[in-house]
Amino acid sequence: MRIAINGMGRIGRLLFKKIRRAGKYEIVAVNDIMPPENLAYLLKYDSIYGTFEEEVSYKDGNLQVGKDKIRVYHEHDPEKLPWKENDVDVVLECCGKFLDRASAGKHLKAGAKKVLLSTTGKDDIPLKVFGFNQNGDVPGFDILSPGGCMTNCSTHIIYLLNSIGIENGMINILHSFTSRQALVDSSHNQFRRGRAASESIIPVDIDLCTALDRLFPSLAGKLNASSTRVPVANGAYASFFVTLKSEISESALKDLFRKSAETEYKNILQYTEEPLVSLDIKGNTHSCIVDGTEIKVLGKMVRVSAWFDNEYGFTSRMLDWLDYWFK
């Protein structure tokens, strides 16, 4: 399977390195508007995950990665990219701008066979969370959204809680700061996002509930979600405050998540009772790590908390989708 990556930000670069390490698929091209010399530098050096083990350089329109040459393009319009010429099977759409079928479909017009977004797309793009709803018709889709890191963390937890029955619930996600925030106070259309990310705890708007409503139509209007950015560079901690339709004991709730982590959600959901902090989940490949020490029950009200590496866990699910399509 021949892969192209459009957008070489945090997710695009991490996918690039994980695909190279796995050795299953061939990356034939990347596209980004940043200077290619800067791209090569950022592929090599990463402040979160460390230095890439392969040598990386740029020369004459190509990334030299180890012994391989990979074409680099600098094109704003996906329809103008030479995907047909490069015989591209799947484009990993990682720039975050092309979220509906018309715009993401430009990759198909350019000659790619399939497009996998790196976030939640608009309503006209199927939303499929790996391990939850990758049903039989998925291989036929030519454009697919796997959700985002928060959606992938939340979906399996909401599903398991709803197996008991959810009356309503609130979700809050403590999330590391991202590139859409400012290093120092500056102008932003969301005023709080313009404040210095390393100096404050900052509430931000998220669209998690829009995605969950699509995945769980019977719960539409019963869930609300918020996110608070905290001054760390990686990792997230989600808390689900839910009123259930019937009571459950704390031990039974722990058993529900423990057994699910060992069976149907193995490799996607992890359960732990270790006293973790956010740094401990850096590089964890699971969509969520349910913290059994933080499961609390008060009558029909429960709190379930989970950790996740907002970059490494989510990109692991994108690789799962590549494997699923390939098979």
Task: Report how far residue 279's alpha carbon sits from residue 197's, in angstroms, rounded to the nearest whole number.
Answer: 18
Convert the pLDDT of each residue in 167-184 to its tens digit: 999 999 999 999 889 999
Q: pLDDT value at position 266?
A: 95
Catalytic residue among 95, 149, 209, 288: 149
What per-residue string of b and e applies to 192-218 under the rule 16 or more CB within 10 Å gives b?
ebbbebeeeebebebebbebbebbbee
How much is the pTM?
Answer: 0.94
Q: How far is CA 184 from CA 193, 197, 214, in A?
A: 10, 7, 36
Domain boundaries, the chain: 2-118, 149-310
**CATH number for the domain running over 149-310:** 3.30.360.10
Note if 149 is an active site residue: yes
The DSSP string of 25-58 is SEEEEEE-SS-HHHHHHHHH--TTT---SS-EEE
Place of tokens 């401990």: 280
**Angle (CA) 283 269 137, round 5°:** 105
CB 90 within 8 A of CB 141: no
How would you write the pLDDT of the chain (327 residues) with one tens digit per residue?
A: 999 999 999 999 999 999 999 999 999 999 999 999 999 999 999 999 999 999 999 999 999 999 999 999 999 999 999 999 999 999 999 998 999 999 999 999 999 999 999 999 999 999 999 999 877 677 678 999 999 999 999 999 999 999 999 999 999 999 999 988 999 999 999 999 999 999 999 999 999 999 999 999 999 999 999 999 999 999 999 999 999 999 999 999 999 999 999 999 999 999 999 999 999 999 999 999 999 999 999 999 999 999 999 999 999 999 999 999 888
**CATH number of this structure's domain 2-118:** 3.40.50.720
